[in-house]
Amino acid sequence: MSSSRFPIPQGTLDMLVLQILSLEPAHGYGIAQRLEQISKSVVQINQGSLYPALHRLEQKGWLKAQWKQSETGREAKFYSLTRSGQKQLRAEKDSWARLTGAVQLIFDEGTGQ
């Protein structure tokens, strides 16, 4: 819980959720844990914003949900990517790459002078 972690940039949570789910279906808690692991002590994710994000993505048709038995034996709501979710992830990755590339370019320009 160090304060050196910075809050996640706006709008990237959806992309991260899609990315995690593109590997395998997972329930909300699983996604939260995975986010925690991946981002370790770098990015701070408010768990409270995870569920609204999941429901927003489901509403948009990018995720589908199903109640299944989880690893503890209890029923949990598992989310998985739909076909249009996969397409969305590709599009978001693409635009992310272009954005970071462009930002990098501007930074490089700055150091060049």
Q: CB of 2: closest distance to another protein in angstroms?
A: 15
Phi, psi of 98 (to 5 degrees): -65, -40
Q: In the range 28-67, which residues lie near another protein by CB under 8 A? A: 28-29, 32, 46-49, 51-52, 55-56, 59
- Site size toward another protein (CB under 8 A) is 19
Q: Binders of another protein among 67-106, rule CB under 8 A?
A: 70, 72, 74-77
The residue among 3 and 72 lying less far from another protein, judged by its C-beta, is 72
Question: b or e along 28-63 (b: 16 or more beta carbons within 10 Å of the residue's beta carbon)?
Answer: bebbbebbeeeeeeebebeeeebeebbeebbeeebb
